[in-house]
Structures are given as C-alpha cells and as structure tokens.
Chain A
C-alpha cells in the first residue's frame, strides 16, 4: 500500500493585480524558495517537480515547464505539468502527493502560478472566443437556481463577500485588503452577472504558491510541524447534459464521498475543523457546503447566516480570505490546499483556527465539473 506523504514546506508570493517587477521565472522561484526555506531544504534535496497552471494562453507561453525548468532547479530532474482547469492547483498538489506515496520519489517540490496581468482572463475563460460570458456568466444562472431552491435570502452572498475580505485583512499575502468592506459596500457595488455584484466576485491576480512534500522517513529534516496528507480525491463529469445537477454536481458529491471514506470521516461537519473551499463567487460557499456533504441540502446558507463559517465559528471556511481575496487562477486550488496545511501545522498566523487538527482543501474547475480535494492533519492517524 501507499506510504504517507506530508507537507513540510509552504511558500507563497504576495498576490497582486500586477507583479510587473517579476518575470514568470522570478514569480515561481519566489514561491519555490520560500517553500524550501520553510522546509529547511535546498533544490538539491528535491527529487522531482510538478507544476500546474490554467491555460498557457493566459500568459502566451506554451508548455511552460520547459522555460521554467531552470528557475525551479529542475535541471537533471523529472518535472511535469498538470492542467485540469480551475481545479488544477489541487490536482497538482495531489499529483505531487502521488509521487511520494508511490515510493518512486522521496521529496517533491510542487508549484502553481498564474500571471493574469499578462493576458485577458475572461477571454481565455470563454474558451478563446470573443464576446464570451466569462466564468461569472457561466455560474450566475446556477447560483440563481440555488437561491430559488434553497430559499436563501439575498444577503447571504454579501455576507460571504464581507467575511472573506475581513479574513484577508489578517493575511499579508492576500491580494485584496479592503479595510472598509461592509454589507452596504458589497450591495452597492455594480451588478456584474445577476445576482453577483462586483464585490461578490474574485479578483484577477498575479502570484505563485509552492509546497514541499516528503515521505515519513524524511519528515524530521524539516523543523516545522508536518501536515500529513490523510486522503485525496478527484472526480470529473461532463459540463453539459440534460438533467445535470448544476447546483450540486454529482462529481462533487462523489469526490467528497471518496475523500471522506479514505480519510475515515463519517461526520465531516464534526470531524473536519476548518476548510479552504474554492469560492470564486460568494454564493459558492453555501453551495459547496451542501455539494460536498458538509451539511444537509438547503442548510448551507443557514451556516453562513449564523456565522458558523467565520473565523471563530463552528466550521470556519476560507480563513485566509479565499479565492474572493486572491485569485491567480492556476494557483488558487494549490493555495486552498496549502492554507489547509497551514492550519494543521499551526502556521496560519493571525487567521489560525485554534487547535485545528484536520482541514479540508478543495478546488473545482471547468463548468463546475472538475473536483479535487485533500484532507490534511497534524497527526498521521487522526481518527
């Protein structure tokens, strides 16, 4: 059977509208060096590298593992590149974990990035067609459907938008630091795709995120507490077909079930201490709480409304500020995975959930059809 993998190093760049002062090479290297420093390791300790990002067309550099190899210390080593749309950051983390779990490579560096200021994300997210609707245009009708079927009041979306931006104020890496964020400010911001206002949408960011994963025998080399990868799962389904449940896609449900089964989780709400969920538009917080079986159907918005998902609530979500506060697309899923790891390592700084033992990192992509998730824990056998 597979041997366990652990996160022993985490590195992030500052997320920002434009990182003009850095090339792509400089951007990924900044994150990689911070992860190595955290792990107290050097490039020479790394056995393989996995990178991930969303479409190459976002920056106009084809198959970037070729041009980034030098800056990631990959010369003479295996390096490969994952692409699973918006879920890619979490898929890449899982690929890196697999390399360790397989027994083939002891210590793996994994890096995800996007430099969205180099291109036009809405064009790329519309499949390279002009006049496209972008991601918000795809998701807004499904959010409307959720609101109708769950009978959620309209302020739920605003509440998520405020909560995540308040959390971001505690995270120095977050792109958006909106000091005067408020329900009124969100409500009064322009309507982009009804019911989504401008401030209920994610920003477009430049940034990179990195992790070092290693095997049990080598965990001790790194001074900081490891985050053990207890379980991971991925599921994919078609983006369009008659009768598809677009609010809670079956792939998301199947992915969560597989994940919890592998982790030994029977009651996710109780056994998971906090979660970093991929919420690029405010309403996806309650939608994923339901769609990943953390609560019953139509109950997710009640958790949000009651403050359960706030830092200090009974089930904190997106303590780091989430995708709503930083969104370098290809890295956004990896950020969820590494922020989950930060929580169980006790390295989450001002947004630390006290006593977090078990955390969920999650990403989705495409037309809400790609799902990738992992559970990390401060203990190898948490249950």
Chain B
C-alpha cells in the first residue's frame, strides 16, 4: 500500500468520526460556541505540533499565504457546517453536501496544478463521489436514531 494512501485513509476515518461528534455538540450548544471550542482544540493541537515537530520556518511568502488561506477557508467551512447542523439540517444531508468538495478540488487540481489522472484514477474519483452521495442518503425511516449518546 502507498504511504500517502494510509494517511488519506486515516484522515477519512477521523473526519468520519467528527460527523457524529459535530452533531452531538450542536445538539447541546450553539454553532458559534461549538466552533469556538473547535478552534481552541485546533490551537492546542497546533501548539503540540509546534513543540514536537519543530517545523521549518524558512518558508516563502506564497507558501505562508496559501497556508493561511487554506486554514481560513477550512475554518469558515467548519463554522458553516456547524451552523447547518444547528439550524435543523440532518447530519446525513449536511454530510452529503460537504462530501461533494472533491468535485471542486479535482477540477482545480487539473486546471491549476496541472495534475493528470490515469483512467483508473478518474474512474475511482467518480466512483468515490458517487459512493459519498449514496452513503449519506438516509436509511429506512424505522431505523432513524436521535443520535443522543
């Protein structure tokens, strides 16, 4: 197995768990308070990375700007997803919409980064997006749960 695939699957698993924890949070507190504590956790994690990893600070301006823009867009996306869940959006529907983000990433990666996909990878990308949509569709009505833990 490729190393990058292992990391991608790890991200998939962790983000999959957050689909549940996000809903459990907004069941009890406002989206703003949820987002604020989400940010504090990120700050704590960043501090830990700073201490443990000792990153290289000799970065170009473009790299720093891209990183800041990535973090800001990520944060805005997290907040809007908390807001969508708080305002009555079912986790299954909200997650289905969020999981469509690769549609944009694939197009931008091909256009801006000049990436080229093999036939297998292109088929895989389309299959992954279709799978994400199908997975997020609601199950049988009798099987619904309140999600309370």
Pair from one complex? no
